[in-house]
Copies of this chain bind each other. A is one copy, B any other.
Amino acid sequence: MNERFAIKAYLSQCAELIEASLKQSLPAEWDVPARLREAMLYSLEAGGKRIRPALVLSAAEAVLGQDDAKNAALPVACAVEFIHTYSLVHDDLPAMDNDDYRRGKLTNHKVFGEAMAILAGDALLTHAFHLIPQAARRGGVSAETALAIVEDLAMLAGAPGMVGGQVADMQGEQGITSISELEYIHLHKTSDLIAFSVMAGGRIGGATEKQLELLARYGRNIGLAFQIQDDILDLIGDETKLGKKTNSDVEQNKVTYPFLIGIEESKAQVERLTQEAKSAVLEAGFAAPERLLEIADYLVGRDH
């Protein structure tokens, strides 16, 4: 379990870096209505594992083979967290999932009201695209690379990506019957932003087109594994570790992998997807692939 300990320490260190950077990511000198700034920071600082931004940093370091890629990659890592956060704020809205709590805290609209939560989400989403050009300013990243990252993010977080997955999820509540429908939802709702994260890190590290493709494959696979693992934990996890009630999917009549193919087959899928993700990383021939391999294992092994 030493390896597991090491990767947890590495992810904590990434999370600390990212949280310090998130706090400064909305320029203090900007004339922003106080309550809007407060609403944005409330959800940004509400925690979470910061897996997506950590993947930006890890992928950049995997390609470069050195520990000093973090500085150039940090603005992009923060951008991913801005996108992830806005998506949670909007998902929780009364017209969407209508959730009152997230990670044990009141959701944005419960604290700031529905109109402000919509606008704070819009502002978080927009600000992600202000952060990416800063990677070019810090040096080490060309304008061409930063622009390619902007284009990737706009696609993978947009209509053909995360938002499309969210729409399919919403429509699916009327009855999903096949694994392929469920896979579509997870691939877009969850995997696309994870694939973006490792591709962006790869671009910053100077990955080749072939390596970017393999990073995308890694991202899609661990994203899907992550989601199925979530479904499994909802059924058989430890409520105190999860920080939320188990069996909520069953109570909400949510169609999940375990529901469609059973627990054992779901676990086998997670294992298979994780192996495929790791193969992609090994095939890419990165200077330092270890972190990415460890993160893939960590996501399967997690109990919360």
- Interface positions of A (Cβ within 8 A of B): 26-27, 30-33, 35-37, 40, 86, 90, 93-96, 113-116, 118-119, 121-123, 125-130, 132-133, 136, 142-144, 146-148, 150-151, 153-155, 157-160, 163-164, 166-168, 170-171
Partner of A158, one of B95, B130, B163: B130
Q: With the chains together, A168 CA to B119 CA distance in Å?
A: 11
The answer to whether A95 touches B118, judged by C-beta atoms less than 8 angstroms apart, is yes
The answer to whether B132 touches A114, judged by C-beta atoms less than 8 angstroms apart, is no
Q: With the chains together, A36 CA to B159 CA distance in Å?
A: 7
Task: Report whether over half of chain A's contact residues are helix, strand or loop; otherwise say mixed.
Answer: helix
Given contacts A96-B118, A147-B136, A159-B123, contact A36 B164 (CB under 8 A): yes
Partner of A159, one of B26, B113, B164: B26
The answer to whether A168 touches B33, judged by C-beta atoms less than 8 angstroms apart, is yes
Q: Closest Cβ of chain B: how far from A37's Cβ, in Å?
A: 7
The answer to whether A163 touches B132, judged by C-beta atoms less than 8 angstroms apart, is no
- Would you give 15 A-B contacts (Cβ < 8 Å), ordered by A? A30-B159, A30-B160, A95-B113, A95-B118, A119-B166, A119-B167, A121-B122, A128-B154, A129-B150, A132-B150, A133-B148, A133-B151, A136-B147, A143-B143, A147-B147
**Contacts of A113 on B, CB cut-off 8 Å?**
95
Q: With the chains together, A228 CA to B118 CA distance in Å?
A: 27
Chain B residue at minimum C-beta to C-beta distance from A30: B160
Partner of A164, one of B31, B96, B167: B31
**Contacts of A168 on B, CB cut-off 8 Å?**
33
Chain B residue at minimum C-beta to C-beta distance from A168: B33
Chain B residue at minimum C-beta to C-beta distance from A154: B130
